[in-house]
Amino acid sequence: MNRTASAHWEGDLKTGKGNISSQSTTLNKTQFSFKTRFEDGVGTNPEELLAAAHAGCFTMAIGAALGQAGTPATSLDTTATVDLQGLDIKGVHLSIKGKVANITPEKFAEVVKGAETGCIISKALKIPITSDATLIK
């Protein structure tokens, strides 16, 4: 299986602009620019898209592991924070809150740690990845 996305750019770095589209068309000529990447502007940027992909992958991995353990989640909410310093991504921190019946906070944290390094996006990245877990009762 292959997944695709495309980008179009016009102009120089600071004043140029572009758009990003995805195979599914969820992103359809979604704008990005220097302002959306390094300042405040309307549109997206590669780091935000990386954070979204990582949050989704990580959350699905935890959902799968909990289901396999016989303790499916009622709800899981993840925030992924990409640490961009200059022109380098220094790491990603994943913070998850989960509502899961019949599980201890320790077991939930263990499942989260497994997904921290085991989800597909985590395995693809060669940067430090950290996480924290909050179990909601």
Instruction: Summarize the confidence of residues 43-70 as an average pLDDT.
Output: 97
pTM, 2 dp: 0.92
Question: Is a pLDDT exceeding 90 seen at residue 107?
Answer: yes
Average pLDDT, the chain: 95
Strands (E), 1-72: 5-10, 17-22, 30-33
The model's pLDDT over 58-71, given as tens digits with 9 standing for 90+, comes to: 999 999 999 999 99
- pLDDT recorded at residue 137: 79
**Secondary structure (3-state) at 100:** strand
Domains of the chain: 5-38 (no CATH), 47-136 (3.30.300.20)
Question: Is a pLDDT exceeding 90 seen at residue 122?
Answer: yes
- pLDDT recorded at residue 128: 92
